[in-house]
Amino acid sequence: MRHKFDEQLDLLNKELITMGALCEKAIAMSAKALTEGNPALAKEVPDLSVQIEHKEREIETMCLKLLLQQQPVATDLRVVSSALKMVTDMERIGDQSADIAEIITLANICATADTQIIHDMSVAVIKMVTDSIDAFVKKDTQMAKAVIDYDDVVDSFFDDVKKMLIDLFGKPETDGEYAIDLLMIAKYFERIGDHAVNIAEWVLFSITGTRM
């Protein structure tokens, strides 16, 4: 019985890794569409968001079957229940990547020097998402804590974006709608970082039984 349960947990980990890879791809694609000024690329992101949503449902079904059929207790119960919480945050990451892509598509944002800092921010966000899922699979509390601490880096990028946009607003030739679109995109990336923190906190709970 224990061997079968361990096999199912291994499968759960693989599915979470797959879902995480889809999230990383969605973030990276939306960021690339921004820095390249490529609305056509941005239009591909919603399809990834749909795939992420489908994966969420598959993992939820898998977790519920584990809970009902195996009736796990203690650490095993925390692992499965944490996975259920994590996929909700991962699904929101997919949604927000699609929201970024939608802004790029509708606003027809072109690549400028102003978008580079947001791209750098997206790289930091992808690192957080990747490491938070790796921490769950590896049961690594230090990696999970590092993700939570790294959120300060993303927040610092967001502050830099706001300062940049304040300077832009001070120039008479600035398109106000363009600046607001950039602010919204940066805010979505900042929120994705927050979801990665949530995932890392659930990782810590699954291992220690304590939620930050």
pTM as predicted: 0.92
Asked if residue 168 has pLDDT above 90, the reply is no
Query: What percent of the chain shows pLDDT beyond 90?
Result: 72
Please report which confidence band the pLDDT of residue 110 belongs to, taking 50, 70 and 90 as the band edges. Answer: low
Please report which confidence band the pLDDT of residue 149 belongs to, taking 50, 70 and 90 as the band edges. Answer: very high
- What pLDDT was estimated at residue 174? 66
What is the number of other CB atoms lying within 10 angstroms of the CB of residue 169? 11
Q: Is residue 104 a contact partner of residue 42, using CB atoms and an 8 Å limit?
A: yes
Look at residue 129 and give its three-state secondary structure.
helix
> How far is residue 172 CA from its own chain's centroid?
36
Task: Dig out the tokens for 168 from the structure.
Answer: 């832009």
Looking at residue 141, its amino acid is T
Domain over 2-208 is classified CATH 1.20.58.220: yes
What residue has token string 């300077």?
167
Task: Dig out the tokens for 180 from the structure.
Answer: 């607001």
CA-based max dimension of the chain: 70
Looking at residue 65, its amino acid is K
Asked if residue 111 has pLDDT above 70, the reply is no
Q: How far apart are CA 38 and CA 43, in angstroms?
A: 9
Mean pLDDT, residues 159-169: 87
Q: Where are the domains of the chain?
A: 2-208
